[in-house]
Chain A
Amino acid sequence: MKPLLKASHVVEMFGGLKAVSDFNVYLEQGELIGLIGPNGAGKTTAFNLFTGVYQPTSGEIEFDGQSIVGLAPYQITQRGIARTFQNIRLFSELSVLDNVKIAFHDHVKYGLLEAVLRVGRYTEEERQIERDSLELLKIFHLKDKAYETAKNLPYGAQRRLEIARALAAKPKLLLLDEPAAGMNPQETQELMEMIRWIRKEFNLTILLIEHDMSLVMGICERIYVLEYGHIIAHGTPEEIQNNPEVIRAYLGGAS
């Protein structure tokens, strides 16, 4: 079987800076994979390449057997990749519930006329969206905050809301950019459970960037290590933990 996502020889240049070079990654259906590396290694850039925010300078990215190079971010989301952002990007002035409802957009069938005249599929579909949104909020312990303004949520809750919103887009592949950043150890532990659970429940493939090693080592099946845009190691958590290249990259020192 073909991998769900396959990046081959991807290069991304920012002026003279090679943010990502000769990047090769594959994700099998249903896997939970980690992407780690020091600050500025190019992890977020990789996500931006997968989601169409940046276009690769060269190389090929295939999703579900088809090239996604050249597609706009919304088209890639419609094909089944959803993401969260390292620097949280919620619809901050809107309610928690509306944040999630918005992401159902591509799955709504009623048309403009039905919406404006409030006939046909409008009422039933809107009711369904509200039900499904509240259901997602419940999974992430946000249901009792459904009518609060998103920007008033604590940091950890905002990160969870980003995941709930991404799931509303009904993706096959979920990209999480530092989902545990700013969370305390207990919140991180809960988040780990949630990530495991949603993968099973929603039949997801997940790629996550994380600095929290206990989280990455605890839930990922395979890990890619990035440094200065290059993949310096790839393997199971045990292999990565004992890899001298990785230890050197993380602890510094002469190479």
Chain B
Amino acid sequence: MNIQRKNDLMYLVLGLVIFGIVYGLMEGGMIGSFWKLNIIIICINIIMSASLNLINGYTGQFSLGHAGFMAVGCYVSVILTTNFHMPLIVGMLAGGAAAALLGCLIGLPTLRLNGDYLAIATLGLGEIIRIVIMNINYVGGAAGFTGIPHLTTFPWVFFTMLVTLFFIKNFVNSTHGRACIAIRENEIAAGAMGINTTKYKVMAFTIGAAFAGIAGALFAHCFYIINPSSFTFMASFNYLIMVVLGGLGSLTGSVAGAFVVTALSAALASWPEFRMIIYALALILLMFYRPQGLFGYVELTAFKPFRFLDRTKGGRE
């Protein structure tokens, strides 16, 4: 067994231990229903921020429409589970596939745009998706889709999150991921090294959209009713904050970002006016002291006390 495999195994064991502890506490009644739901939301938001990080952080394409893909996954899955009584996994896969398809179709023309223009295009796109859904009566329009079976459980979200993190981790550590990172670093040089930059931008966008769709499916089945207003521009912005706060191009950063933002807003739920102030304050402080985000382009394992978790990097011969 090589070092990489050993490392993966160690992460898996770590994941299982965390799962065991949290699940045990939940089943033992130590975690109330409010925090139980929020832990599930944290896992979903980790899927969202990690997949957005693949687009914004690793590939360097500034996308602001991630909630739109989540909405697609959400609605496709609830139609299948509620109206056609399919199991959750079918809803998740179909939701992810639909979001991926849309991501690919939209990515092809828009990813030719750079920087600010791409941000505006994706922002508009997210809004268009939401408004289209709002005008489809079959899914309840603005009033929302009701009667959704409560299928999302902690094990479902936790293991989907693990799969997502492994997928993205392995992707960015392959030639395909390196191609994406090269585009972020210097698009002209990437092209000169034989990388089809359009192809890899669209690939990152499509994979990111797919996981957002899966996250949307999991999100929908936490509630009895789902409504287009959950997927506004503010929601997309919120995911962006998690990514930036955690650190662009850092997977552990995305996990930390999603955790901090979600837990903080849950903890402050009873004081909504303070929530926004603390939120804004945290961001301003971060801009001042760590503009690169909590982790900024490196993983947790780059820091000394955690180095033992990754033995594949930085080892000289």
- Bound complex: CA of A98 vs CA of B181, how far in Å? 10
Return the CB mask of B151-163 against A: 1 if under 8 Å, else 0. Answer: 0000000000000
Given contacts A73-B191, A89-B186, A147-B314, contact A118 B175 (CB under 8 A): no
Complex partner residue of A115 from B8, B171, B190, B317, CB under 8 angstroms: B171
- Using Cβ atoms and an 8 Å threshold, which residues of chain A touch B136? none
Task: Please give me the residue from chain B that is nearest to A175 by CB atom.
Answer: B192
Give CA–CA (A168, B194) in the complex, Å: 10
A165 close to B170 (CB less than 8 A): no
Q: Which residues of A contact B8 (CB under 8 A)?
A: 118
Other-chain contact of A51, B4, B5, B192 (Cβ < 8 Å): B192
- A89-B188, A116-B170 in contact; A108/B175 too (CB < 8 A)? yes
B290-315 to A contact mask, C-beta < 8 Å, 1/0: 00000001000000000000000010
Nearest-Cβ distance from residue B137 to partner chain A, whole angstroms: 39
Check A112 against B176 for contact (C-beta < 8 Å). Answer: yes
- Indicate if A160 sits at the interface (CB-CB under 8 A): no
How far is it, in angstroms, between the C-alpha of A105 and the C-alpha of B203 when the chains are bound? 15
Q: Which residues of A contact B175 (CB under 8 A)?
A: 101, 104-105, 108, 110, 115, 129
A-B contacts, CB under 8 A, total: 103
Which of these, B178, B194, B197, B314, contacts A78 with CB under 8 Å?
B194
* Chain B nearest CB, measured from A65 CB (Å): 20
Q: Is B182 an interface residue (CB 8 A)?
A: yes
The yes or no answer to A43 lying at the interface (CB within 8 A) is: no
Q: Report the contact-size class of chain A (Cβ under 8 Å from the partner).
A: 35 or more
CA distance A168 to B192 in the complex (A): 12
Contact of B186 (CB < 8 Å), options: A92, A101, A106, A118: A92
Known: A115-B174, A118-B4. Is A106-B194 also a contact (CB below 8 A)? Answer: yes
Asked if A55 is an interface residue, CB under 8 A from chain B, the answer is no
* 141-172 of chain A: CB within 8 A of chain B: 146-147, 165-166, 168-169
Interface pair B194/A103, CB less than 8 Å apart: yes
CB distance from A240 to the nearest CB of B (A): 29
Q: In the complex, what residues of A have CB within 8 A of residue B316's CB?
A: 146-147
Q: Across the interface, which residues of A come within 8 angstroms of B178, CB to CB? A: 98, 101-102, 105
Shortest Cβ gap from A82 to chain B (Å): 7
- A134 partner residues in chain B, CB cutoff 8 A: 317
Interface of B is mostly: helix
Would you give the shortest CB distance from A132 to chain B, in whole angstroms? 13
A122 within 8 A of B: yes
Question: Given A53-B188, A89-B186, A104-B175, does the pair A116, B167 have CB atoms closer than 8 Å?
Answer: yes
Q: Give chain A interface residues in 56-76, CB to chain B under 8 Å.
A: 72-74
Please measure, in the bound complex, the distance between the C-alpha atom of A110 and the C-alpha atom of B178, giving whole angstroms. 14
Whole-angstrom distance between the alpha carbons of A165 and B317 in the complex? 21
CB distance from B261 to the nearest CB of A (A): 25
Docked-complex contact B194 and A74, CB < 8 angstroms: yes
Give Cα distance in the complex from A5 to B292, angstroms: 45
Q: Which residues 1-31 of B sit at the A interface, judged by CB distance below 8 A?
A: 2, 4-5, 8
Q: Are A123 and B4 in contact (CB under 8 A)?
A: yes
Q: Is A77 among interface residues, defined by CB-CB distance under 8 A?
A: yes
A118-B170 in contact given A74-B191, A74-B194, A90-B189 (Cβ < 8 Å): yes
Query: B108 at the A/B interface (Cβ < 8 Å)?
Result: no
Contact B176 A83 (CB under 8 A): no
On chain B, the residues within 8 Å of A72 by CB distance are 191, 196
Give CA–CA (A85, B316) in the complex, Å.
29
User: Beyond A115-B174, A147-B314, is A102–B196 a contact (Cβ under 8 Å)?
Assistant: no
Contact A117 B170 (CB under 8 A): yes
Q: How far is the CA of A116 from the CA of B167 in the complex (A)?
A: 6
Interface contact A102-B182, CB-CB below 8 Å: yes
Please give, as numbers and ranges, the residues of chain B lying within 8 Å of A93 by CB-CB distance. 185, 297
Measured CA separation A219–B2 after assembly (Å): 46
Interchain nearest-CB distance for B244 vs A (Å): 17
Known: A102-B179, A105-B178, A117-B170. A94 touches B185 (CB 8 A): yes
Would B193 and A90 count as touching, CB distance under 8 A?
A: no
Are the CB atoms of B194 and A89 closer together than 8 Å? Answer: no
The reply to whether A165 and B4 form a contact with Cβ atoms under 8 Å apart is no
Could you tell me if A83 and B192 are in contact, using CB atoms closer than 8 angstroms? Answer: yes
Footprint of B on A, CB under 8 Å? 51, 53, 72-74, 77-78, 82-83, 85, 89-94, 98, 101-106, 108, 110, 112, 115-118, 122-123, 126, 129, 134, 146-147, 165-166, 168-169
A-B contact pairs, 11 of them (CB 8 A): A72-B196, A74-B196, A91-B186, A94-B181, A98-B181, A101-B178, A102-B178, A105-B179, A116-B170, A118-B8, A165-B193
List the interface of chain B (C-beta within 8 A of A): 2, 4-5, 8, 167, 170-171, 174-179, 181-182, 185-186, 188-197, 203, 297, 314, 316-317
